[in-house]
Structures are given as structure tokens and as C-alpha cells.
Amino acid sequence: MIKVVIAGCSGRMGHALLEGVFADSELELHGALDRPDSPSIGRDAGEQFGRASGVKISADIDAVLEGADVLIDFTRPEPSLEYLAACRQAGVRIVIGTTGFSAEQKKQIEGAAGSIGVVFAPNMSVGVTLLINLVQAAAKVLAEGYDVEIIEAHHRHKVDAPSGTALRLGEAAASALGRKLSDCAVYGREGVTGERDASTIGFATVRGGDVVGDHTVLFAGVGERVELTHKASSRATFALGALRAAKFLKDKRTGLYDMQNVLGFDK
């Protein structure tokens, strides 16, 4: 049995993760964390599902991590790094699905992987992980004469743009084309921009309503277009991927992994 701690348990992803843990016989809810001012503090983590889990929602990170195997985090960069530091201190593995990290913050995650097992991925979906591989394969075949554009849409509450998944897809395409995304990305167009530079990878962002997450990678050539698309209709897909990542870490004492590793695409 893997003892799991869920961070941000009163949020949309936290809710999906709790539901996933309760439904999985290989996992046991060991702890539930939320911000100190959350009205959920002190309540049973299973209350919203009409069940008594025996786990009270808490803001005491160190106390909750005692005896835990892995923490799953889908919050914001700043609290994520606090959870990461606490996990490193306690020797608890961590699954990070949070997006919006700066380059320096990502280095902190990489550094922690020398002490604990870490799965860090901007999207935990099995389908998106497959999409990344398809994008790499398509980019190699369509390397000449095709423009690459990435279009993503999310709900009105998402605070970072482009999404971490869109950036990961851009990195996959750029790598296959022998480029660095930081050198060729175009994140917005307005006014008289001139003709498109064939070496660039463009991004378009849509925010609105309750869109869970849509991503399309467009390869536009002369006379044809190839579009690779993934659409998420439920956060359950991300939760199930994260729980799969938690199981993957069971025998990983240290190391930095992503969903490619979890699903065996790296073999």
C-alpha cells in the first residue's frame, strides 16, 4: 500500500485526486494539505464524497508528511516549492503537476531530485504524453516546408500562459527540428508583423469558460495541413496519470522523471 498525501485538496484537481485515491486499492490517503486560511482545515478529507476517511485536512506540512510515501501537488509554483523543500527534508517522494515555474524554480526541482524521487510534468495525461511523442515524430517528417503553430485553450481561472503543456509540445517540436524553443518561439502577434519566419514556432492562447484543456499542434504546409489534437473533458485524466506516477515512484529513491518515463516511452 502506497501512502499518499494530496496538496491543495480543496481545489478542482485536489478533488479529482482524492476521488482517485479512494477508488484505488493500491493507494491509501495518508494526508491532505491546504492553505492555512482554507475553510476546509480540520474537516475530514472524505466529507465532500460522503465518507469518513479518518484524515483531517491540515496546513501543517511537516506533520502530515511523517510516515508518508509520496506527495502529489497541483497547486501554484510558490507553495509547490515549499512542499518540495518539506518532502526533501522528510525523504518523501513527490509528483509535481503544477505549471508556471520560472527557469530558476525548475532548477530547484532538479536539485531536489538528487535527494528524493521526483516526477515533474506539465501534463499528467496519458493521451498528452502520447501526443508529445507523435509531435516529435511528425516534426522530423515535416521538417521542410511546414510551419509549426501551437493553439491551446483553458478555463478562465488558469493564471499562466501559454500552458505548460503547450510549452512542452513546443519543446518536443523544436528538439525534433534541431532548434531551441527559447530561440524560436513567438508568443503573440499584433499589428504589422511582416511575413512569418519559417524557423519560428508560434503559440496562440485562448482563455474562457470551463475548458479543461485543449491542445493542437498544427503543421501547415503548401496545399495541406496536419493537425495533432488532444482535448481533455475531465480532470480525472490528469488525476489518474498522477496516481500512476505515484506508483512509478514506489521503488525510486532519487531521480527526476517525467510522464515519458512513467509510461515507458523512454525505453
| pLDDT score of 267 more than 90 | no
Q: What is the CATH number of the domain that holds 48?
A: 3.40.50.720
Q: How far apart are CA 94 and CA 70, in angstroms?
A: 5
Based on the fold, state whether residues 215 and 113 are members of the same structural domain.
no
23: cell is: 477508488
Q: How far apart are CA 120 and CA 139, in angstroms?
A: 24
Percentage of the chain beyond pLDDT 70 is 100
Looking only at the bridges linking them, the beta strands covering 117-120 and 255-257 are parallel
Q: What is the pLDDT of residues 205-235, one digit of tens each?
A: 999 999 999 999 999 999 999 999 999 999 9
The pLDDT-based confidence of 265 (bands split at 50, 70, 90) is confident
Based on the fold, state whether residues 114 and 245 are members of the same structural domain.
yes
Based on the fold, state whether residues 88 and 32 are members of the same structural domain.
yes
Residue 65 lies in a domain: yes
pTM for this predicted structure:
0.82
Q: How far apart are CA 162 and CA 100, in angstroms?
A: 9
Residue 267 lies in a domain: no
> What is the DSSP-derived secondary structure letter of residue 196?
P
| pLDDT score of 100 more than 90 | no
The number of folded domains in the chain is 2
Catalytic positions: 154, 158
| pLDDT score of 266 more than 80 | no
Burial of 114 (0-12, 13-18, 19+ CB in 10 A): exposed
Q: What is the pLDDT of residues 136-154, one digit of tens each?
A: 999 999 999 999 999 999 9
Which domain covers residue 197, as residue numbers?
A: 126-232
Handedness of CA 156, 159, 160, 163 (dihedral sign): negative
Give residue 48's pLDDT: 85
Q: What is the pLDDT of residues 54-92, one digit of tens each?
A: 999 999 999 999 999 999 999 999 999 999 999 999 999
The pLDDT-based confidence of 122 (bands split at 50, 70, 90) is confident
